[in-house]
């Protein structure tokens, strides 16, 4: 008697979220699982019984390799939060009803904090109601802010894109040998955690001096001190490039991007973070007379599969495999973690960890990795992050562009 399973994707996409789906599929087929279903648009679509059969896309000899090279959520994503169980038992019963309809035994969910909460709620409901289905979370977030796991699949590819682009921006900005420098301020994602912004430091290599300053949301941001820092740098430098998190906040709790303007709020009450670099560039121009330029990596940083890290792709695949193995070994209410076993050479394995320790916990950049004045990060971060961005997977180029796998 064959088993069936389902895998879903949730939250903001990453460059490697599809590699985890590929891993789930490959491992399931190895274990003789019958049907591997994909939720179309996550648990929200699943509640409407929207599923697809992954054999339709991945059974071909090129399917898995093309999926690894495809950015964004192949299955479609959602931003649906499961309601609290009490008073909403009907929603939970609906999930189990659809699982039973398709003889689905295990459910895998790729995502970040909110998605791990979905795994927790579903497994809690199953435990309380004597259901035998198993639920395992597959970590995914460019923000790298899940606890317990050494790092999160998706982070390293965004970091590689950021560091590559920073090198290119620094080269571009330093091509003019002018006396008065142009000040480039680059805004990087990460509302509360500075992992992505810190990745700008990886651009400091034998052939690049790296950014002149890096500001993470973990530290209070002071606009006057920032302008002073630029003035100080401008005394000696013919190019200034600075990385700032979109989430930097003043001492009074306001985001920098909120200063002097209204900020839109989305359906979930999250403020739309954008315009931090533009705000700071305007302020620097006004206070110093220097030419400034604001650059936002925006969604490019989470979608640039064309320069994804092979280490990240492989690890995303591995956590997908590990999730299927864990469920098949009888585990439920778990998230797969990446466990670093060595630095030189870098070695990393996987294990399964109780989802209750993970859901809704946010991990930030450790204070000791940020310099005293809050304008840079330490070598300990480089040692942590460098191995994660190693390696590349050559895209398949068609018509001169990286080709992607498309869901019909």
Contacting residue, 26, 33, 40, 313, with its own copies by CB under 8 A: 40
Place of tokens 């979109």: 246
Q: How far is the CB of 120 from its own copies (least distance, A)?
A: 23
How far, in Å, CA of 176 to CA of 135, rounded? 56
- The site string for its own copies over 93-132 (x = CB under 8 A, - otherwise) reads ----------------------------------------
Strands 239-245 and 35-39: unpaired
Other Cβ atoms closer than 10 A to 253: 8
- Token pair for 52: 């697809």
Contact assessment for residue 10 and residue 111, using Cβ atoms and an 8 Å cutoff = yes
Q: Does 163 bind its own copies (CB under 8 A)?
A: yes
Is 393 one of the binding residues for its own copies (CB under 8 A)? no
**In the bound complex, what is the minimum distance in angstroms from residue 57's beta carbon to its own copies?**
12
Binding residue for its own copies (CB under 8 A) from 168, 343, 357, 362?
168
- Closest separation in Å from C-beta 273 to its own copies: 11
- Contact between 391 and its own copies by CB under 8 A: the answer reads yes
Stretch of residues binding its own copies (CB under 8 A), selected from 120-128, 302-310, 332-340, 349-357: 302-310
* Smallest gap from residue 270 Cβ to its own copies (A): 11
**Closer CB to its own copies, 252 or 266, in the complex:** 266
Catalytic residue of the set 117, 143, 312, 328: 143
Output 126 or 243, the one with its CB closest to its own copies: 243
- Judged by CB under 8 A, the stretch of 242-250, 304-312, 322-330, 373-381 that binds its own copies is 304-312
Binder of its own copies out of 70, 141, 245, 350 (CB under 8 A): 70
Helix (H) or strand (E) holding 105: strand 104-111
Contact between residue 242 and residue 200 where contact means Cβ atoms under 8 Å apart: no
CA angle 25–13–262, rounded 5-degree value:
165
Does the footprint of its own copies cover residue 314 (CB under 8 A)? Answer: no
Stretch that binds its own copies, among 28-36, 110-118, 205-213, 354-362 (CB under 8 A): 205-213
Of 7, 67, 78, 365, the one binding its own copies (CB under 8 A) is 78
User: Based on CB atoms, which residue is closest to its own copies, 157 or 332?
Assistant: 157
Q: In which element (H, E) is residue 242 found?
A: strand 239-245
From 40-48, 87-95, 144-152, 340-348, span contacting its own copies (CB under 8 A): 40-48
Given a contact cutoff of 8 angstroms between Cβ atoms, the answer to whether 115 and 152 are in contact is: no
Residues 241-300 that bind its own copies (CB under 8 A): 264, 266, 272, 274-275, 278, 285, 291, 293-296, 298-300
CA dihedral (50, 26, 139, 141) positive or negative: negative
* 3-class SS letters over 219-239: CCCCHHHHHHHHHHHHCCCCE
Question: How buried is 286 (Cβ within 10 angstroms: 0-12 exposed, 13-18 middle, 19+ buried)?
Answer: exposed
Q: How far apart are CA 138 and CA 28, in angstroms?
A: 14
Beta strand extents in 10-64 (DSSP E only): 35-39, 51-53
By CB under 8 A, residue 344 contacts its own copies: no
Report how far residue 151's alpha carbon sits from residue 155's, in angstroms, rounded to the nearest whole number. Answer: 7
Among 8, 13, 112, 137, binds its own copies (CB under 8 A): 13
Of 80, 75, 72, 78, which Cα lies nearest the Cα of 13?
72
**Residue 143: active-site member:** yes
Active site residues: 143
């Amino acid at each position: 008697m064959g088993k069936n399973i389902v895998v879903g994707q949730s939250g903001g996409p990453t460059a490697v979220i599809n590699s985890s789906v590929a891993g789930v599929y490959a491992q399931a087929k190895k274990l003789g699982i019958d049907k591997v279903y994909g939720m179309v648009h996550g648990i929200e679509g699943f509640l409407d019984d929207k599923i697809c059969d992954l054999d339709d896309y991945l059974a071909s000899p090129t399917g898995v390799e093309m999926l690894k090279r495809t950015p964004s959520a192949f299955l479609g994503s959602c931003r649906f939060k499961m309601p609290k169980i009490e008073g909403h038992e009907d929603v939970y019963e609906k999930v189990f009803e659809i699982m039973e309809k398709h003889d689905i035994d295990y459910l895998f969910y790729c995502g970040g904090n909110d998605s791990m909460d979905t795994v927790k709620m579903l497994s809690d409901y199953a435990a309380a109601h004597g259901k035998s289905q198993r639920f395992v979370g597959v970590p995914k977030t460019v923000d790298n802010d899940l606890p317990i796991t050494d790092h999160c699949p998706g982070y390293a590819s965004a970091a590689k894109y950021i560091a590559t682009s920073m090198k290119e921006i620094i080269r571009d900005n330093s091509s003019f040998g002018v006396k008065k420098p142009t000040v480039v301020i680059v805004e990087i994602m990460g509302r509360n955690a500075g992992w992505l912004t810190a990745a700008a430091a990886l651009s400091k290599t034998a052939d690049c001096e790296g950014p002149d300053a890096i500001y993470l949301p973990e530290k209070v941001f002071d606009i006057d001190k920032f302008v002073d820092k630029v003035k100080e740098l401008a005394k000696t430098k013919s190019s200034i490039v600075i990385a700032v998190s979109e989430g930097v906040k003043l001492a009074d709790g306001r985001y920098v991007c909120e200063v002097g303007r209204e900020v839109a709020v989305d359906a979930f009450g999250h403020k739309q973070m954008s315009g931090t670099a533009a705000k700071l560039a305007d302020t620097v121009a006004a206070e110093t007379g220097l030419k400034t330029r604001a650059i936002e990596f925006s969604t490019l940083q989470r979608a640039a599969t064309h320069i994804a890290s092979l280490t990240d792709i492989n690890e995303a695949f591995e956590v997908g495999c590990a999730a299927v193995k864990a469920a098949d070994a009888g585990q439920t209410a778990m998230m797969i973690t990446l466990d670093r076993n060595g630095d030189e050479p870098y070695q990393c394995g996987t294990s399964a960890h109780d989802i209750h320790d993970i859901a809704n916990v946010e991990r930030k950049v450790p204070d000791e990795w940020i310099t005293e004045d809050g304008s840079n990060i330490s070598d300990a971060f480089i040692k942590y992050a460098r191995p994660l961005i190693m390696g590349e997977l050559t895209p398949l180029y068609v018509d001169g562009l990286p080709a992607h796998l498309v869901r019909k």
